[in-house]
Amino acid sequence: MTPLPIWMRRALFATAAMNIVGAALFAPSARALRAVAGFPEAEHPLYLATVGMFVLLFGLGYLWAAIASRADRLFIAVAAVGKLSFFALLGSFWAAGALSARAPLVGTGDLVFGILFLIWLYGPQPSYSSSVASQPR
């Protein structure tokens, strides 16, 4: 696990809140919320509940990482790809005329957090070589 800088902890707290609240958007009974967000109605409640469950689980994962101030790089990489993919899906369905312009606007937070996660992943990492080298064997 990699220690997190303050800005990344704040980003994880913010995206945790966004995901936990956003999971409600996919509750089968939240038709009005989906309409306001520009999302279409689903065919079956099972699909909405499944998506909502994953959005909530990732939100809880972000919260855990923020509280612990440590994150597994693979988790953040999967999170970045997921957030950027969700925004790309919203944009492509909007471009095809299948979603209103509100949908990609609602997903802008996912774009921002996906980019922040990539910045953390590809940014400078703390060096442990000096502390490891000085330990007796």
pLDDT tens digits, 41-86: 877 899 999 999 999 999 999 999 999 999 999 999 999 999 999 9
Let me know if residue 130 belongs to a domain.
no
Q: What count of residues does the chain have?
A: 137
Let me know if residue 74 belongs to a domain.
yes
Let me know if residue 132 belongs to a domain.
no
Q: What percent of the chain has pLDDT over 70?
A: 91
Strands, E, within 6-98: which ranges?
Answer: 70-71
Regarding pTM above 0.75, the answer is yes
Q: Which domain holds residue 37?
A: 2-122
b/e sequence 90-105, b meaning 16+ C-beta within 10 Å: beebbeeeebbeebbe
Let me know if residue 135 belongs to a domain.
no
Let me know if residue 103 belongs to a domain.
yes
Let me know if residue 32 belongs to a domain.
yes
